[in-house]
Chain A
Amino acid sequence: MRFLAIGLGTLVPIFILVLFLRARPILATNSISTLLFSTTWRPSQGSFGFLPFIMGTLSVTIVAMVIAVPLSLLTAIYLAEYIQPGVRAFVMPLIDLLAGIPSVVYGIWGVLTVVPFIQKVAMPFIDRWLGFTPLFQASNPTGYGVLAGGIVLAVMVFPIIIAVAEEVIRAVPMGLREASWSLGASRWQTSRRIVLRRAFPGVIAAVMLGFSRAFGETMAVLMVVGNIVQIPRSIFDAAYPLTALIANNYGEMMSIPLYDAALLGAALILLLVILTFNIGSRLVLARISYS
C-alpha cells in the first residue's frame, strides 16, 4: 500500500520528465525564444513557432473567462446569500450535472447552437455597433472562431467556479453579515463590501481553477474554434489552440522529423502552465482553510 501511494506521488515528476526528454530534440535545434515568439509554423521545413497556438489558447481562454467570471460570481453570490435553502438544494445538483456533461457533448452543442447563433445573430449585431474596432470586426463569416470557443468554454467552467466560489462565500462567518446589516447596510452592500472582501482569496482560487480547466480543454474547443494557424485579431477570427494542435496532428507526427518533439513540447507547455495555476489556487485555498 505504501509503495502504491509513493508511486502515485512520483507520477507528476515522471510525466514532466517523459515530456521533457521527448521534447528535447526540438530545444536542441530551436532556441526557446524562437519557439515561443516565432509565428512561422512549417513543420516540414523544420520551423516550429508556437506563438499562434499560444495566442489561440490565450484568446479563447480569456474570452471564456470574461464571460464566465461575472456570471458565475453573480450566480454564486445569489445562491449563497439570497436564495432559500430549499431552492438551493434544487439548483446545486443541476449545476453539478452541468459539470458532468462530457466535452464532446458541449462540442455538439457548440456546433449546432452556438456557431449558428454567432454567425446569424451575434456577429452582424456586434459588427454593426462595435465593428470600427479591430477586436470586434466581423472578419470571418463562418461563425467558427474565438468567440464560439469562448462561449462553449465559459459554460464548461461555470460549474467549477460556482461550486468553489459558493463554498467559500458560505464559509464567511454569519457575524460579519449581521454586523454589517445592523449598521444599516443593504444586502447587496453587505455581499459586495463585507462578504466578497472576506472571501476574495477563495474567489480568486475558484477563478484560477476555472482558468486552468479552460486552458486544457480540448475536444469541445477543437470542434468550434476553426483551427486556422494564425494569431486571432478579432473575437470572430478562427484560432488554433495548443490542445487542438496536439489532438489534430497525432496521426502524422511520426512522418516529419522533430514534429513529435514539437507536439510533446506543446503538451509540456500545457502541463507546466496548469501545474502553476493548480498549485497557486490550492495554496490559496489551503491558507483559507487554516485560518
Chain B
Amino acid sequence: MLTKRKFEEFFFQILMVISTIFVLGSLLLILGTVLWRGLPALNLAMLTQTPQGGYYLGKEGGILNAILGSLCLAGGATTVAVTLSLPIALYLRIYPVPHFTRDWIRLSLDILWGIPSIVYGAIGFTVMIFLGIRASLLGGIIVLSLLELPIMVRGMEEAINMVPKELLESSYALGATRFETAFKVVVRQTLPGLVTAILLAFGRGIGDAAAVLFTAGYTDNLPTSLLRPVASLPLAVFFQLGTPFPAVQDRAYAAALVLTVLVLGLSITSRLLSTRFIKNIIR
C-alpha cells in the first residue's frame, strides 16, 4: 500500500535526482556548446597568428594576441599577488596578531572576495586616470592582482593552517626566528597547498573579463610593453562574438574553447596537486 509518507519520500527523491541531473547536465551542456562551436574553429593558424585587418572586421588570422595577452596579464597579476599575499598569509598564521586586527583582516578578505569584478574595474580605472596611466598591460595587471589577492590569501591561509604546531615549536626550539620558520619551514611544508592557491587565483584572473575591460584595453598586436594596451581571451570572446561576420565569430568560439581548456586544466591540476604532490611534507 502506498501511504502518503512513502509517496512523499518517492516524490522528493525523484525531484532530487532530477535537480542533480539538471545541475550536472548544465555543466555538460556548457562544455558541449563550447566544444561544438570551438573545435571546428580551432586550427594551427588560429593559435599562431594575430587577427588581420582588425579584430572586429578582419576575417583572416587568429587569436595569438589574446592568448599571449591573457598569459601576460594573468601571469603578471599572479606574480604580484603572490609577493603580496604570501607574507600576509604567513603573518596572519605564524605571528601573534591582535584579535581585532585579525578579525578585521578576515572580514576585509571576505568582502574583497565578494566585490564584483566590474567594481574592481571601475575603481582601477578611476585610480589610473588619477595617476595618468592609460589602459595598458600595467593597469590590467594591477587590477587583476587586486582581484586575485583575496582568493590567494585565503587559500594560502588554509594551507598554512594545516601545519602541525609541533613543527613550528621544533623550529623555534632550534633557535630559528619566526621569520626563518615562516619562510624556510612553513613554506616548504605547505608548498602543494600554496601552489593550489596560486593556480586557483591564476584561473580566476585569466577568466575575468569585466576587470580588464576598462583597464587593459584591447589590441590586435602582441603584447610588447607594460604601458601599451593588451588583448585578452575573455574580451576576445566578448568583442568578436558581437560582429556580424561568421569568420570573426569563429575566433570568439576558438578563444572561448582555449580559455575553457586552460581554466579547467588549471582547476584539475590544482586538485591533483593537493592530493598527490606531497613529497616535501614532513608528517
Query: What is the interface of chain A, defined by CB distance below 8 A to chain B?
Result: 1-2, 4-6, 8-9, 11-12, 15, 18-19, 22, 70-72, 74-75, 77-79, 82, 91, 93-98, 100-109, 111-113, 155, 158, 162, 186-189, 192, 209, 212-213, 215-219, 223, 243, 246-247, 250, 263-264, 267, 270-271, 274-275, 277-279, 282
Contacts and interface: CB of A to CB of B under 8 A. Distances in A.
B9 A105 contact: no
Contact of B122 (A2, A77, A267, A282): A267
Tier of interface size on chain B: 35 or more
Contacts of A101: 30, 207, 260, 263-264
B114 interface: yes
Contacts of A5: 87-88, 91-92, 97, 101, 105
A104 B235 CA distance: 8
A98 B34 CA distance: 13
B108 A104 contact: no
B170 interface: no
B20 A79 contact: yes
Contacts, number: 235
Interface in B60-109: 84, 87-88, 90-92, 95, 97, 101, 104-105, 107-109
Interface of B: 5-6, 8-9, 12-13, 15-20, 22-24, 26-27, 29-30, 33-34, 37, 84, 87-88, 90-92, 95, 97, 101, 104-105, 107-119, 121-123, 125-127, 146, 149, 153, 203, 206-210, 213-214, 234, 237-238, 241, 252-253, 256, 259-260, 263-264, 266-268, 271
A104 B257 CA distance: 11
A263 B271 CA distance: 39
B101 A6 contact: yes
21 contacts: A5-B88, A9-B104, A15-B123, A19-B123, A74-B18, A94-B24, A95-B27, A102-B207, A108-B253, A112-B33, A155-B30, A188-B12, A188-B13, A216-B119, A217-B116, A218-B117, A243-B118, A246-B121, A263-B122, A271-B115, A278-B111
Enumerate the 5 nearest inter-chain pairs by beta-carbon distance, A residue then B residue, closest first: A216-B116, A102-B207, A78-B16, A74-B19, A1-B91
B209 A78 contact: no
Residue of B24, B111, B149, B259 with highest tally of chain A CB at under 10 A = B111
